[in-house]
């Protein structure tokens, strides 16, 4: 295929007859000539197709790979599924790599397009993935997140490093909104493609006093008998459209969804009601034992509404997103995290809360950039010719303020957030561990090529922090300075590969060296992993809990692998919060249900899964460090705790839960009636097991234990239509 054929093929698989203005501009700016591009255009303006053209050209003409970087796993999954659907039949081999941060993923060698999270790509560099030299295109989705305190620094160093390792690779950076896009383009040595073209016209307005006042079209009157949000919802449904609300907190998110359900249910037909009932049942029973939150969500879904936030389980979020796209769920109420997640367009986007609360600061207006990201979800190219983005005001003065700030105002410029010690610790150790830098001079030279250095044109402060971090890494024996050369120690290299903060690695080493002096229990290791930056935010300790937790700490002081700070020391608050977090993990692996965790700790199932995932990762890292330190007597204990965290069971159930389809609830039922080993399950009659866990699960157990089982025929009622 030549360039013209490549362009035609991309149009064909995308279902378009011609390229849109944004894509044409990218082609004019040198997309097919391999030039770096920074593309800034509204959501749904076809930016991804620009990357697809470059990726297809590199594979076909140069046999090079494309790496597509995403800030979120959910976004990576979406891109993977889209690319697979479009290009698999063309012979393009597409892979998704977002998990296991302690692997070089050599299997990726066979693939042409690799979709990866930023952190995973950073990890692949640390492990020296051999196929990296074959990469010809680097696509960075949501490049504006370089401005984000938590995600930005990793992305910035990753990009700096990739440009050093792959100087000939084409870089394509994509964003919906960057005020200072020219800065980013100059840093990346890229051509700038900026367009305000949008396939669906977006009308922005402010709702106040039962009316939506738009800037570019006539106002819209709402039902003045209803609260504003209810009126907007009713008006949207009367137009046979969908709405997406954004609220500041989970509590607001859930309460608004419940309230809007009373409006939406009046617009649900009989056939939709039946489908929603089935969907609600599936959402409610994602867990073996549903929590109050599961039941609340299911009740909302029955009415055609859903709330969506990080406290939900992954499967629940996926079901909500899929059924919103299908049009079955009419309204979603979400927290702002959804604004930069998967593609969920709706006719109307309503931003109800434009302030965020910060402890010690109070309520602060959201950045214009963030609100514009939410606005970008309005308008569905496949269904609508226009979309509406609406802010909600409580007074006429506030309505004017919101219009000035968010509709007429410009998004903020983005700035590097690189000068943060935890990020510098991880990245400096990684650079030394992979021999990417070999001296202090080459280390400083590397950081002189970052976006931070470009923006501020003065790295004095950054260099000072780099020196401080380097001294710490040397003090911790992760790096040695030998005749002016920087070299990683064996343990320093391993900690970098494990993708943990070097401070966490140092604390683990100190803790493991204390094990011989302590009374070891699971709590010993759980508190050690809980008191790390990777487990933040820790569970907050309420005033009434301090005394009880203090007493607990006093009684169990000989079990902790870290020094217990005095009440007046700065570290005490974090320590006591880490103990509470460790106790929650301990309750989980002693078979507390999700509902009990929610009641006792106010931790939702989604939050719990996040904490359990981090705990698993940290326990794995702790095991690897213990192995390197030669503390083999601890390995089996750490492995056992890790398995118990994974399955949420007491030690006695570990053999049973390893069977597929046997969760903690079924395993406990089997154990309590005497089936304590796999041998006892193998010897048990199928009928006996079926009475305990049901026929399907009983057959599944027997098949896993290598028994051929004749499946009972399903009895069905015969009807005339059969």
The domains found in the chain, sorted by start residue, are 3-194 (3.40.50.300), 201-407 (3.40.50.300), 422-477 (no CATH), 502-648 (1.10.3380.20), 653-704 (1.10.150.20)
Contact between residue 473 and residue 425 where contact means Cβ atoms under 8 Å apart:
yes
Which pLDDT belongs to residue 708?
A: 60
pLDDT of residue 713 exceeding 60, the answer is no
Report pLDDT digits (tens) over 220-276: 999 999 999 999 999 999 999 999 999 999 999 999 999 999 999 999 999 999 999
Contact between residue 407 and residue 215 where contact means Cβ atoms under 8 Å apart:
yes
Concatenated DSSP letters of 129-179 = -GGGGGEEEEEETTGGGGG-TTTHHHHHHHHHHHHHH-TTSEEEEEES--T
Residue 174 pairs with which residues in a beta bridge?
39
Read off the pLDDT band of 359 (50, 70, 90). confident
- Residue among 492, 448, 484 nearest 466 (CA): 448
Return d(Cα 512, Cα 514) in angstroms, integer: 5
Contact between residue 193 and residue 38 where contact means Cβ atoms under 8 Å apart:
yes
Span 199-210, average pLDDT: 94
Report pLDDT digits (tens) over 143-192: 999 998 888 999 999 999 999 999 999 999 999 889 999 999 999 999 99
Tokens of 137: 């295109």
Report pLDDT digits (tens) over 666-685: 999 999 999 999 999 989 99
pLDDT of residue 529 exceeding 90, the answer is yes
pLDDT of residue 334 exceeding 70, the answer is yes
Report pLDDT digits (tens) over 51-61: 999 999 999 99
Which pLDDT belongs to residue 722?
A: 31
Q: 211 by DSSP, 3-state: which?
A: strand
Read off the pLDDT band of 714 (50, 70, 90). very low
Which pLDDT belongs to residue 525?
A: 98
How many residues are listed for the chain in this entry? 722
Half-sphere exposure of 31 toward its Cβ, with a 13 Å CA cutoff? 28
DSSP secondary structure code for residue 92 in this structure? -
Report pLDDT digits (tens) over 79-113: 999 999 999 999 999 999 988 788 888 999 999 99
Q: Which of 144-148, 341-345, 541-545, 558-562 has the lowest mean pLDDT?
A: 341-345
Which pLDDT belongs to residue 709?
A: 58
State the DSSP H helix or E strand holding residue 214, giving kind and residue range, or none if neither. strand 211-214
Read off the pLDDT band of 711 (50, 70, 90). low
Contact between residue 58 and residue 114 where contact means Cβ atoms under 8 Å apart:
no
Number of H helices and E strands in the chain, helices first, is 31, 19
- Residue among 323, 285, 291, 287 nearest 304 (CA): 323
Contact between residue 580 and residue 526 where contact means Cβ atoms under 8 Å apart:
no
Mean pLDDT of the chain: 92
Return d(Cα 616, Cα 186) in angstroms, integer: 41
pLDDT of residue 198 exceeding 80, the answer is yes
Dihedral angle, C-alpha 624, 628, 632, 634, nearest 10 °: -50
Sorted by sequence, the CB contacts under 8 Å of residue 643 that are 6+ apart come out as 654
Which pLDDT belongs to residue 719?
A: 36
Which pLDDT belongs to residue 721?
A: 29
Which pLDDT belongs to residue 420?
A: 87
Q: 334 by DSSP, 3-state: which?
A: strand
Which pLDDT belongs to residue 537?
A: 92
Q: Report percent pLDDT > 70 for the chain.
A: 97
CA distances from residue 591 to 140, 445, 521, 588, 651 in whole angstroms, order as listed = 42, 52, 17, 5, 10
Sole residue written with tokens 């009713």? 234
pTM of the model: 0.89
């Amino acid at each position: 295929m030549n360039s013209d054929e490549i362009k035609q093929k991309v149009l064909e698989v995308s279902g378009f007859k011609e390229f849109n203005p944004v894509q044409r501009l990218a082609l004019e700016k040198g997309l097919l000539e391999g030039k770096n591009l920074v593309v800034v255009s509204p959501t749904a303006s076809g930016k991804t197709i620009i990357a697809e053209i470059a990726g297809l050209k590199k594979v076909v003409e140069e046999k090079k790979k494309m790496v597509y970087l995403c800030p979120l796993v959910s976004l990576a999954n979406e891109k993977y599924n889209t690319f697979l659907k479009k290009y698999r039949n063309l012979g393009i081999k597409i892979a998704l790599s977002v998990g296991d941060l302690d692997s070089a993923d050599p299997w990726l060698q066979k693939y042409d397009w690799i979709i990866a999270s930023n952190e995973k790509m950073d990890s692949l560099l640390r492990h020296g993935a051999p196929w990296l030299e074959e990469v010809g295109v680097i696509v960075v989705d949501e490049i504006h997140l370089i401005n984000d305190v938590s995600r930005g620094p990793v992305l910035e160093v990753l990009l700096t490093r990739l440009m050093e390792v792959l100087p000939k690779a084409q870089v394509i950076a994509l964003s919906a909104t960057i005020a200072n896009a020219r800065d980013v383009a100059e840093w990346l040595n890229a051509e700038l493609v900026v367009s305000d073209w949008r396939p669906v016209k977006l009308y922005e307005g402010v709702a106040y006093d039962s009316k939506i006042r738009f800037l570019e079209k006539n106002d819209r009157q709402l039902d003045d008998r209803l609260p504003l949000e209810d009126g907007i919802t009713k008006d949207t449904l009367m137009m046979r459209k969908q709405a997406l609300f954004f609220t500041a907190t989970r509590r607001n998110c859930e309460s608004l969804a419940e309230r809007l359900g009373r409006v939406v249910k009046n617009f649900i037909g009989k056939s939709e009601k039946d489908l929603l009932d089935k969907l609600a049942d599936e959402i409610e029973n994602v867990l073996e034992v549903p929590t109050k939150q599961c039941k609340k969500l299911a009740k909302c879904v029955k009415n055609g509404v859903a709330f969506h936030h990080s406290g939900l389980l992954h499967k629940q979020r996926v079901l909500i997103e899929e059924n919103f796209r299908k049009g079955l769920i009419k309204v979603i109420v979400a927290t702002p995290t959804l604004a930069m997640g998967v593609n969920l367009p709706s006719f109307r986007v309503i931003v109800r809360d434009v302030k965020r609360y910060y402890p010690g600061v109070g309520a602060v207006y959201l950045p214009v950039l963030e609100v514009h990201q939410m606005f970008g979800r309005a308008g569905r190219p496949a269904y609508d010719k226009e979309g509406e983005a609406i802010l909600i005001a409580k007074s006429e003065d506030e309505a004017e303020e919101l219009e000035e700030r968010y509709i007429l105002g410009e998004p903020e410029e983005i700035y590097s957030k690189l000068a943060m010690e935890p990020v510098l610790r991880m990245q400096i150790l990684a650079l030394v561990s992979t021999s990417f830098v070999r001296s202090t001079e080459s280390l400083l030279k590397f950081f002189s090529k970052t976006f931070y250095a470009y923006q501020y044109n003065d790295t004095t402060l950054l260099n000072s922090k780099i020196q401080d971090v380097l001294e710490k890494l040397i003090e911790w024996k992760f790096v040695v300075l030998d005749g002016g050369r920087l070299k990683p120690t064996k343990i320093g290299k391993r900690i970098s590969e494990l993708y943990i903060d070097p401070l966490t690695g140092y604390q683990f080493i100190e803790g493991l060296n204390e094990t011989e002096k302590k009374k070891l229990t699971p709590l010993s290791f759980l508190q050690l992993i809980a008191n790390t930056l990777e487990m933040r935010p820790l569970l907050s300790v309420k005033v009434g809990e301090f005394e009880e937790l203090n007493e607990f700490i006093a009684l169990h002081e000989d079990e902790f692998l870290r020094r217990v700070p005095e009440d007046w020391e700065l570290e005490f608050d974090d320590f006591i919060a880490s103990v509470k977090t460790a106790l929650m993990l301990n309750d989980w692996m002693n078979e507390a249900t999700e509902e009990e965790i929610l009641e006792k700790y106010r931790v939702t199932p989604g939050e719990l899964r996040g904490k359990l995932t981090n705990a698993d990762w940290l326990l794995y890292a702790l095991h690897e460090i213990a192995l390197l330190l030669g503390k083999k007597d601890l390995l089996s204990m750490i492995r056992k705790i890790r398995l118990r965290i994974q399955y949420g069971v007491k030690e006695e159930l570990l053999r049973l839960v390893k069977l597929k389809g046997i969760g903690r609830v079924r395993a406990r039922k089997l154990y309590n009636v005497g089936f304590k080993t796999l041998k006892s399950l193998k010897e048990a009659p199928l009928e006996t097991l079926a009475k305990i866990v049901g026929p399907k699960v009983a057959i599944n157990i027997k098949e896993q234990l290598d028994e051929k089982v004749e499946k009972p025929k399903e009895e069905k009622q015969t009807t005339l239509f059969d």
